[in-house]
Amino acid sequence: MEWAAFATGLPVTAGAALAVLLVAFALGVRLGRHRGVDVAWGAAFAAVALASYAASTGHGDGGRRLLLTLLTVVWGLRLAGHIAARGRGHGEDPRYERMLARAGAAGSHGRNLYALRMVYLLQAALVWLVSLPVQAGQYVTSPVGPLAAVGSALWLLGITFEAVGDHQLARFKADPANRGRIMDRGLWSWTRHPNYFGDFCVWWGLFLIVCDSPGAAAATVVAPLVMSYLLTAGSGKALLERHMAGRPGYAEYLERTSGFFPRPPRGRR
């Protein structure tokens, strides 16, 4: 692990994450809605991976550097594209409406500054933190080993769960006959959150790719742990289930369907 070079690259990747989120903030202010920050989330990870790859030129193992960069860019751009398509034609996201309501009567200027502090800058910091394994992996000098193969397989499982789950949900919502119903088909019958489970696998997979260096693994394990917390207890699963609570049929769905890790659904009572 080339620690000095890794430390030199950290400000570069922080700048890349911040730049993407500040552009998203400017667009949010111009459009009068801040739901576009969710698109910037995936795009910022792709930007950090590309910035880290460029900054690490001449360092690390070439195969690992390229693998980490490609996997992160593919994941980030797929997620950004999916969220952009899903939100096209919609107004502000209800989550951000509730959050910005906390700014009170400060007016649009005050609400925008509140969004900048509590949404955009926070997400830029989280992108930088969660992507630490991708950044550190650019400076691991040992050749790609079996752990990288396991990590790549876990990444593939994760992005497959995400893409298939998103596609199934989009088709379900597109059918007017399903209005007001709970999606409990396909992957959604095995886990209530195939997309969040997919994210979980993607980031633990990327972490495994850097584990050929015990030092890099120890220094960056906080990243997949933070992502796991966000997905299960932070802004992911927990927030969504609070929003869904009380909908017709949702209590029964909770009883028969795994909350996170996939398993066959329980029989209906």
Q: 67-76, 93-102, 155-164, 209-218: lowest mean pLDDT where?
A: 93-102
User: Is 268 part of any domain?
Assistant: no
User: Is 171 part of any domain?
Assistant: yes
Across the chain, the runs of DSSP E, i.e. the strands, are: none
> Residue 120 sits in which domain range?
3-256
User: Is 72 part of any domain?
Assistant: yes
Residue 103 has pLDDT above 70, yes or no: no
User: Is 158 part of any domain?
Assistant: yes
* 177-229 pLDDT tens trace: 988 888 889 999 999 999 999 999 999 999 999 999 999 999 999 999 999 99
pTM value?
A: 0.91
Question: What does the pLDDT read at residue 1?
Answer: 92
Question: What does the pLDDT read at residue 252?
Answer: 86
User: Is 261 part of any domain?
Assistant: no
* 151-170 pLDDT tens trace: 999 999 999 999 999 999 99
The percentage of the chain sitting over the pLDDT mark of 70, rounded to a whole number, equals: 95
User: Is 269 part of any domain?
Assistant: no
Q: Angle between the 146-174 and 194-209 helix axes, to the nearest 10 degrees?
A: 160
User: Is 69 part of any domain?
Assistant: yes
* Residue 71 CA from chain centroid, whole number: 13
Distance CA 64, CA 42 (A): 21
User: Is 264 part of any domain?
Assistant: no
- How many domains does the chain divide into? 1
Count of CB atoms situated within 10 Å of the CB of 186 = 15
Nearest to 218 by CA among 207, 228, 206: 207
